[in-house]
Every structure is written in structure tokens, then in C-alpha cells.
Structure 1
């Protein structure tokens, strides 16, 4: 026992006043608490101060076994730490409040203890008990703050994962708005889907905007990839995105309004078949993507449209196809065709005479020419 029963009773009688002084000084000296405590938070803090003081005075009177936990005082401190984390306050602000509160409480209680006749030695032990108790309350509040922060962060990550999956699968507008609210996410103007291999997602994400959304597991339509949804990387910002990704194997879809990013993701998926090392910008390979959008239809088109070459030796057929492709793309300018193929212009004339023998008037038909351009596309 540090204090006798009469002193404890005298201190208990002063607890409401001391609690008011503690709260007032915390509001005055700690910037984070410079407004009146109101609502649920105000009640929690008021209760925490009163319970902590009452619990401490009981401990000082020896009612609790030595070394026993401080009971409700610690529980209130833990609850206060959790409440502060919910409000987004850093734990440092709370610890500052404890230091200010401890000084104020000690000043007021020591005056009462001296008035009750407590000697100097006992007053010294009383002071030690005050600050040891505050340390215990501080530790409890830190634990409560950390617990709430960890729990909130886990929940936030779960909600962001659900939001990302919803964006990729094209959730209806109402469901998407609910997912955004649940995740506490602030939508950017646009999102750009970037596909990377799973084992490279962390290194790639590290060079991107920290607001980037990531989905690795159970990716719809691309189980062997991860996706990164990069905010505000359209227009002039796209060049910066491609520059940042240099050195990272990635497929970059087009920028889309954030709620329509499933279209960017679908475009990136369609480019997987064109995969090459480094960065593949889908905006730069649109003709190839269109050409390979339906492989079966393309195969049938080639079989029908290129049928005149079927009876020729393979090498001859390939030379004539290359010549016809260049002729069509260069609009029949023989000198340019020869330069492109690295042959003599007379060779171009000879080969094209062979092609005309195979196709006849079909080369003058715009629809046939269009089909040939597609069929001869790379």
C-alpha cells in the first residue's frame, strides 16, 4: 500500500475535478485535441480519464494485488487507442495526451495528498506509481491502436481486391458504386490495365503510381498473369507510363474511364497472343489485334483468298505473296516495291505478271483487294 485509506478517500472525492483539469490541459497543449471532445469520441475520452483515475487511486490504496493488471483502466485505454485509430489519428498524438494528462493529474493529486498529510517518502513512491501507471495505459492504447489499424488495413485490402475484381468483370454501375464506397477508394479520371507475369508484379508495381490497383490471384481470363490498374495514364501521360515500364515485360491496354477499365483489360488480354519481350503497347498494334481477333475466320479467309497460290511450289508462292503484299500496300509503285523487296524493278514486273495470270480481273475488284490485304497481313 502506498496511500492510507483516508488519503485514498480524499483523492476519490477530487477525481471529477481532476478529470476536468486533465481534459482541459490536454485540449490546450496537444494540437490534435484542440477542439472540445464531442459525440461518441468525447464520451469515450471522458470515460477513459475517469476510469483510469479511479483505477489508479484504487491501485495506490493497495486494493489490487501488487503486479496485477490495472483492469478496467487498461481496458478503457485499449478502447481509446482503437477509437483513435478509427478516427485516423496517429498514436503519437494519444501518447502526447497521456504525457500531458499524467503531469496534470500528478500536480492535482499531489496537492491533495500533501493536504492529507502524506510524507515525502510516500509522496515519492506515489509519483513513481503515477508514471508507471501512465506507461501501462500508454502501452495498452498503443496495442489497441495497432490492433485496430491492422484490422482496418486487412479489411481495406479485402475491399480493394473485391473492387478490382468488380472493375475487371464489369460490375453494374450501382454495384460498382457500392464497392467503391466500401473500399474508401477515390476514383481517378482513367485507368489503364497492365498485364505482367505473376512473379514480376511486385517489382513492376514498385515503379508505378502508388494508387495503382493490383490483382494477382484468380485473375478472370488470365490465370498466369497479374493485372495492374494504373490511374490517370492516358493522353500525354501514356508516354510516361511506357517509359517507366521500360525493362519490365508488360502488356499495356488503352486508357479508359475508370468505370470502363474492363475494356482496357480485355484489350490487354487480346494482345497476349502477340506477346514479346519488353513492353507491348496495344495502342501501337491495333491492326494486328484486329487481324487476329478471330483466328478461325482469318484462317478461312486466307484459305479462300490465297487459293490461286495453292498449286505453286512453296518457295514460288511465298515470293509472289510477298510481292503482291508490297504491291498492294505501296499502291503499285514498282520502284518502291523493288526497294522494299531488295530486287530489281524488272523482277517486280515479272512477278506481278504471274500474279495477274493467277487472279485476273479480281485484282481490280475493291472487295477482292481488301480481302487480299487482310489475308496477306502479318
Structure 2
């Protein structure tokens, strides 16, 4: 005869089985008192489900404890372990941690042991078998606790993966310019509260995780293979909420040293324009120089001038043709003087201060330029063309 068969004679098992409904009821009552967070959960249909689960677990234990061959009670039968697993998933689904459920298991083990041991002894269980009985009870509860913890973790992992997928899908819809109704539905599915604005940030994938750690927790990250993006850039796309006004300075500061290109803030349903601006800046070669990220809001002139590089090159060649016969040194001096003269509207003292030369030197160089260009330096169209040609140097 096995130890378990000796522990649970037929009359003892029968007596214990008869007590299971009462033990389950007492267990639930004790849990309600000792685990306050469950007081509401045990009311109504949920309470009946949990009481049934307690009875199922106790019945499963008794079946194992009385089975032939001495089956180990630390390995519960399928219905009981499935019920414990489902309880853990249910806790995660309602947003609760495992703390309350584990406390309920501890209370349940104590109450069940107290009443079942009393019943077993009254039915004739030898005192020497009580230790084995206690070992079986608590090993069984430990196994059920582990099954519930597994169910809880599995639900969180699955729901976390699903929400990340929904958030990535929302980000993709935003940067591709999906219709407003699609964006609203996607935001609701992702359980994401829309902000006033979103700002697109492009940065190396290796820096994305670190950036997410210091940005608004509502920041979205788009998946790979976005329209218009070049695979060779290996850039992550972040969409940062409410980073306009004073908050933009904080955003730029937090992105220092991360190689970021930052688009303008746009109403959240118009995120595509922010993404397009940042992507265009990247494609036109506006890359971070040093620690500071590229702020497209202060590089608008560069974006305009670089929009058609071939046309700009043709314009430069055409409008600077009068300087072609000069040597490299004299040509460069006249170009920097002409550029400063255009930017300072012909104010000689300011040009001299910028170039660190004497005002007479500025006057001499401008005389040379007038000989080369003649009256064209007073022509508004020529002035505009020269400004454009020299503005992106």
C-alpha cells in the first residue's frame, strides 16, 4: 500500500469529500475578510465562479490524494490547473497584479488545511499521517499558484504584444496620411489618447530606445518599411506628442547627441506633413553637425534652396559667371564680400565687421564687383538670384 493510500482510507476520503462544499464556502468567506481587494469581486456571478473554482481545486486535490499508485499532489490534474491558469489570466485582464490572488491562495491553503485535517482526523486518519497530509495540501496549493502566475504572465505578454502592434499600426497610418476616421478608430483600438499635436523625429535605430526613455510616454514608434524612407538610412520614426512652443526646446535638448532630425509640430491627424518635412531634410543632406539635432523649423531656407539641387547648381553657374575668369583666391574673397553685402543690404560697416576687414577694403572689393556686374547689381532680379545662389553656401 502506498503512503497516500494509507493516508486516505475509503472512509476518510468519503468524509473529506462530503465536507468539500462547506470547506469551499468557508474558504471564500475567509478570503473576502482577509483579502479586501476581493470583496467586490466575490459578489455576483464572479463570486460564484471563484467558489466553483475553489471546489474544483479541492476535488482535484482529493482525487489525486486518493488515486492508486501514489500520484504526487504537487502535479494537479488538468481541470484544476486549467482553472488556476484561467484565474491568473482573469486577474491580468481586470488590471490587477498577482498579489491579491497569491494572498487568496495562502488564505485558502490555511483554511482548507484547518477544516480538512479536522475532518480527516475525526474520520479516523492516524495522527502520523497528518504531516504527509499537510505536505500534500501545500504542495498542491503551490502548484496552483504557479499555474495562476503563468496565466497572469501569459495574458500580460499577449496583451502587451497586441497593444504594441496596434500602436505601431496607428503610427504607420499617421505617417502615411490615413483619413481621420481611420485614425480615430486606430487610436481607440490602441487605447491611445490623441494629443493636440505630433512631431516626427527621425534618428538612428540604435538611438531610438534611449530616446524613448526620455520622451513623453505617449510617443509612438512606427514600424519598418515606411513609404518614402530609404532602407539604407536605418532611421527610426518617433512621433512625439505636444512638443510645440516651449516644449519644443525641451524636445530638442533631450535629443542632443542622438543624430536626430526633427520635423514641425502638426495637428495629430496631420502628422504626415511633419514626417514628410523631416524625411525631406534627411534626403537633402541636412544632417546633425555635432550634438544639436536638425531642427527643420530653423532650416526652412535651406530646405527651400535644396529642394531642387540641380536647378540651384544651374542658377549658381549662371549668376556667378562674371567671376569665372578670376583665380581661386580673389574669386573667393569677392564671393564672401558679395554675400555679406547682400545679407547686410549694402551697409559697409556691418560687412567689414563680419569679414574682419577695413571698410575701405569692402569699398575696394565692391568696386571690383561693380566692374564685373555693371548695373546688374542694382537690378532686383539679379539681387534675388545672387541671394539664392549664395544663400546655401
TM-score over 0.5 for the alignment? yes
What displacement does 1:122 show? 3.1
Distance 1:99-1:376 versus aligned 2 partners, 3 A rule: same
CA distance in 1, matches of 2:247, 2:189: 29
Deviation by residue 1:242-295 (Cα, 9 ceiling, x = unmatched):
222333322222233333333222222222212123222222322222221222
What displacement does 1:312 show? 4.7
Kindly report which structure 2 residues correspond to 1:308-327, keeping only aligned pairs within 5 A, or say none.
308-327=322-341
What displacement does 1:35 show? 0.6
CA distance in 2, matches of 1:153, 1:20: 36
CA distance in 2, matches of 1:162, 1:169: 11
What SS class does the counterpart of residue 227 from structure 1 fall into?
strand
- 1:256 counterpart = 2:266: yes
- Name which of structure 1's ranges 89-98 and 159-168 shifts more when overlaid on structure 2: 159-168
Alignment match, 2:166? 159
The one of 340, 353, 375 equivalent to 1:339 is 353
- Name which of structure 1's ranges 124-133 and 64-73 shifts more when overlaid on structure 2: 64-73
- 1:47 counterpart = 2:57: no
What SS class does the counterpart of residue 290 from structure 1 fall into?
helix
- 1:268 counterpart = 2:278: yes
Alignment match, 2:237? 227
What displacement does 1:98 show? 0.5
Q: Could you tell me whether the CA contact under 8 Å between 1:250 and 1:278 is conserved in 2?
A: no
Kindly report which structure 2 residues correspond to 1:77-88, keeping only aligned pairs within 5 A, or say none.
77-88=84-95
What displacement does 1:137 show? 0.7
The one of 272, 283, 295 equivalent to 2:309 is 295
Alignment match, 1:70? 76
Structure 2: gaps spanning 5 or more residues: none
Structure 1: gaps spanning 5 or more residues: none
- Count of matched residue positions in the alignment of Structure 1 and Structure 2: 378
Q: Could you tell me whether the CA contact under 8 Å between 1:320 and 1:355 is conserved in 2?
A: yes
Deviation by residue 1:139-188 (Cα, 9 ceiling, x = unmatched):
11112222222222222222222222222222222222232233222333
Distance 1:46-1:303 versus aligned 2 partners, 3 A rule: farther
- 1:21 counterpart = 2:26: yes
CA distance in 1, matches of 2:350, 2:99: 74
The one of 252, 258, 262 equivalent to 1:242 is 252
Alignment match, 2:175? 168
CA distance in 1, matches of 2:153, 2:268: 33
